[in-house]
Amino acid sequence: MQATQTTELTAFQTQPSEYRHWTLAVDGPTATLTLNVQEEDDGPDYLLKQNSYDLSVDIELADAVQRLRFEHPEVKTLIFGSGIPRVFCAGANIYMLGKSTHPFKVNFCKYTNETRLGIEDLSENTGVRT
């Protein structure tokens, strides 16, 4: 399998009304992030499997975490849920990883780790319970 390199620019700007994979709902001191990744041809050369994640899923998650931190300081509890019964998260999309170059995989893993550390930091430094 030949690794491909993406030449498109990645758009990191998003907002909750544009999310395709997450729903962010804030109700007073409680926020709910619901993962709902449908199987679809997301990239030019791979299928995004049900509740797996790729860069587009993590960009939305990172955006939601920062919005909770800066736009919703009243939130004290963050609930993660699934929009698909019996499935929360299937992990990283193996089709995307299989078709990616080594440098992309390294940077993707760093970004996804930083995103999850941001969730831990949100909890530790703002008192939001997850």
The residues with which 82 forms a beta bridge, in sequence order, are: 35
Q: pLDDT tens string for the chain (130 positions)?
A: 455 555 577 888 899 999 999 999 999 999 999 999 988 765 567 877 888 899 999 999 999 999 999 999 999 999 999 999 988 888 999 988 999 999 999 999 999 999 999 999 999 998 899 8
Q: What beta strand segments (E) does 8-58 contain?
A: 22-27, 30-35, 40-41, 47-48, 52-53
Q: What is the DSSP letter of 49?
A: -
Q: Among 3.40.50.920, 3.40.50.2300, 3.30.1360.120, 3.90.226.10, what is the CATH number of 19-126? A: 3.90.226.10
Domain parsing of the chain, residue ranges: 19-126
Confidence at residue 41, expressed as pLDDT on a 0 to 100 scale? 63
